[in-house]
Structure 1
Amino acid sequence: MGDANRMVEIEVVSSERLYDCASAVWGSLIQPLRHFNESAVIDGFTGKKILLADFSSYLIKNKCQSFCIELANGSVEFSYVADKGFYRLDIKRLANSIDVAQSLIGALIDKSGFVQARIYDAEYDRWQNAESLTLFEVECVEHAHLPKKSNGLPFPLTQEIVDISKNPGRWIFRSSYIEAVGAFMWVSKSLLKVVGVDEKTLMDVDCFAVEDLGGVLKIAAYDQCFTLAVGAQAERQALLRKVLFNA
């Protein structure tokens, strides 16, 4: 896939106390999403078409705690990860540049309960976290060179899967946050406390540009989204993971 066609995707994590209902998070996104000039959206759960202007009242009326909407060939999904105790907002196939992605994240970082956000390359993230050999085979992607392991399930569910545990672009759900890296990240100072990271240590990494936004640090770890699991990009991802998550 050529760089011109690559889509920048957005992941935002927030704690339970941030939103009492999905309408509040949608309310924060209305302004930046207006740039896409959509008059209507599709409710991804029901397939119902709803006017963009009416979506907030639709969420309130239906007491929605989560939502999935489709617009401008992309989607915005907001859901609660109950066993890990956080909300996750995914904005997919909407931002065609890092600048657009940053404007969407900018609408959310000053809310109390914001935990973290990252901008990442969709295709790279997908293959860095793909474990199913069937997926590789269906899409004719070579996997013979990749490390394998058992999925750990008892017979007859046992299967061989790709071992992604050393992939620089892997992500892991942790209690109250996601261990994942992106070339552009926003991390709350409360998250740094949770993972036991000293703010100064992060600020002092020469190859990162770190900006203090108050309760949040913005980290530019590379000049474009990561798309490679080797070389300088792999080293940068490993350093970011080590400094941020002690991993």
Structure 2
Amino acid sequence: MMNFNAQLVFKKNFKEAKTVWDVISSLITSEQVDIFNFEELHISKLKIRQQIVSYFQVEGDGYSIDFDYNANSQINILFIDNVKIRLDKFENILKPLFQNTSFLQGRIYNQEYDIWQNMHDIGYYESSGKDYSHLLKKSNGMPYPLEATIIDTSSNPGRYIFHDGYIEFIGSTMWFGREFLNSLNSDIGKMKELSFITTECFDNYIKIITHDELFVENDGTEDKQRHLRNLLYLS
């Protein structure tokens, strides 16, 4: 059992917030949770379901669950933060979402690693007391007086990029809807040839495992992460 974060991405026409809630609510062990959409604290899971219309954000027992729409990329995203559960049990709970025809992609990840792999702001490094002298830097591309030097994350193995209709991200365990994976022209055949990648095929989705632990800083998996990204996102 471990603590991890998860991210699931759905097509823009997926508006089934109650369906998402019905699936993920079993992750919540307490009957009273905080839900911020309605500015109410410590209300029952049943009452939450009754009030959900399109999106929701809840917290409780150290975790948070957020289902929201990203207008720039035109996708719906489910964030599950700091959940503590066996991965096989977690996957079994989420299986109805993986099987949904609107499901695009999903992953598990370490939040701290994810933050620093995508952190551009030098001020954040300084306020956190984290050394950045060895990192690549570039201009933010803004005109004077807004121009500033930022951290260049474009070569980081754990970077994520929002595209129209999906997110270019990686994780040690990932799930992809078959239709979406085909649209990326991902090299599944090559993945199956590599000893460090395991693929499991289901009716509507494919599971890809690259590492038995979450990716973290300086864990020696950087080349694996880059190789995985290059095979997944060819389009």
TM-score when scaled to structure 1? Answer: 0.87
> Does the Cα contact within 8 Å between 1:168 and 1:229 map onto a contact in 2?
no
Rounded to whole Å, the distance in 1 between the matches of 2:110 and 2:93 is: 16
Residues 67-82 of structure 1 correspond to what in structure 2 (within 5 A)? 67-82=56-71
Q: Distance in 2 between matches of 1:105 and 1:214?
A: 15
In structure 1, stretches of 5+ residues that fail to align are none
Structure 2 unmatched ranges of 5 or more = none
How many residue pairs match? The answer is 234
1:43 aligns with 2:35: yes
Distance in 2 separating the partners of 1:200 and 1:38: 44
Match of 2:8 among 5, 12, 25: 12
What is the alpha-carbon distance in structure 2 between the residues aligned to residue 170 and residue 65 of structure 1? 29
Deviation per residue, 1:60-83 (Å, 9 max, x gap) = xxxx32211112111101111112
Shift of 1:201: 3.2
Q: 3-state SS of the aligned residue for 1:142?
A: coil
Contact 2:34 2:59 in 1 (8 A): yes
Counterpart-to-counterpart distance in 1, 2:31 and 2:183: 41
Q: Quote the residue 2:233 is aligned against.
A: 245
Which among 202, 217, 228 is matched to residue 191 of structure 2?
A: 202
Contact 2:104–2:166 (Cα < 8 Å) also in 1: yes
**1:229: Cα distance to partner?**
4.9
Indicate the SS of the match to 1:83.
coil
For 2:124 and 2:86, how far apart are their aligned partners in 1?
28
Confirm or deny: 8 A CA contact 1:148 1:161 kept in the other structure. yes
1:105 shift after superposition: 3.3
2: distance between equivalents of 1:237 and 1:156?
37
Deviates more, 1:168-177 or 1:151-160: 151-160
Match of 1:165 among 145, 148, 154: 154
Structure-2 separation of matches of 1:121 and 1:101: 16
**Aligned letter for 1:42?**
D
Does residue 1:234 correspond to 2:214, yes or no?
Answer: no
| 3-state SS, counterpart of residue 8 of structure 1 | strand
TM-score (norm 2): 0.91
Q: Which 4+ runs in 1 deviate beyond 4 A?
A: none
- Does the 8 A contact of 1:78 with 1:89 survive in 2? yes
Letter in 1 for 2:185: G
Q: Is the 8 A contact 1:67 1:78 kept in 2?
A: yes
Residue 46 of structure 1: how far off its partner (Å): 4.5
- Identity in percent: 28
CA-CA distance at 1:119 after TM superposition: 0.5
RMSD: 2.0
Task: Give the direction of change, closer, same or farther, for the CA distance of 1:102–1:27 in structure 2 (3 Å limit).
Answer: same
